[in-house]
A = this chain, B = another copy of it.
Amino acid sequence: MAAKKKQAVAGPWWDAWRGVVFANARVLQAVEPSLEKSFGISLPFLDVLSRLYDEPNHRLRMQELAEQSLFTRSGMTRLVDRVEKAGFVRRESVPGDRRGVYVLLTSEGERILERAMSQHQSDIQRVFASRLSPDQHRAVADALAQFWRK
């Protein structure tokens, strides 16, 4: 008989949750330094750039950027400050609304995004995806899609 270790919580859904937390943390820990080393950019940088890239005109308002990401508006202000200083985006005023600000990808931003995202993908592939079967990819994606597809 296996020894039973006392634990504050146990159960199948708790293990699922634990899995999410640890997978997230461990994969990020492995993947962020790689990006930093090759391109000098952090994951939040990449996140901003890729969201802009996915937009028709490569631009988004601060507000939209903040909503889509995991940042508050003020956090996004500072993040965009840094990305802008690095030369990957620039701010522009919104024609109809003088409160608003567009953030838009520069060509340098576009270039670095394409290269960085490509490496980032293979990093995730290596550290995360390659450890799961195709069935598991589908199962996890299906189970968790609800947390980002509004």
| Residue positions of A touching B, CB distance < 8 A | 5-9, 12-27, 29, 50, 53-54, 56, 70, 113, 117, 121, 124-125, 128-129, 131-132, 134, 136-148
Contact = CB atoms under 8 A, between A and B. Distances in A.
Nearest to A46: B8
Contacts of A137: 12-13, 15-16
13 contacts: A5-B54, A8-B53, A8-B113, A13-B125, A13-B132, A14-B129, A16-B141, A20-B140, A21-B148, A22-B147, A23-B147, A136-B139, A136-B142
A117 B9 contact: yes
A13 B143 contact: no
Copies in the complex: 2
Given A24-B21, A113-B8, A16 B54 contact: no
Nearest to A120: B9
A29 B125 CA distance: 27
A69 to B, nearest CB: 9
A129 B117 CA distance: 32
B124 A14 contact: yes
Contact of A15 (B9, B113, B141): B141
